[in-house]
Amino acid sequence: MTLLQRLILAFIPAARRAEAEAETRAWHYTCEACGHARSVWDLGGIRWKASGQSVTRTKCPACGTIGFHTLDKRTTH
């Protein structure tokens, strides 16, 4: 857990911390070139009670190309 995550979670009630982490782990950035996905939690962020999608241009650690990465929430059933 990064310093930013610890700081933000310190202000969330204890009963909600696990919920915030689980929901953040469901959000992923996916490389449009190779399909490599990384969770927002693993990248050091928090995305809780959020909605929508976004696109970011960055370098993919898997294929090395600088391209677009789509942020979306993955649901498991």
CA 5/CA 52 separation, integer angstroms? 21
Cα dihedral across residues 73, 36, 43, 70: positive or negative? negative
Residue-level pLDDT at 76: 66
Q: Convert the pLDDT of each residue in 27-53 to its tens digit.
A: 999 999 999 999 999 999 999 898 888
Give φ, ψ of 23 to 5 degrees.
-70, -40
Residue-level pLDDT at 1: 84
| Residue 10's pLDDT band (cuts 50, 70, 90) | very high
Residue-level pLDDT at 58: 93
For the chain, the domains span: 3-73
Residue-level pLDDT at 63: 96
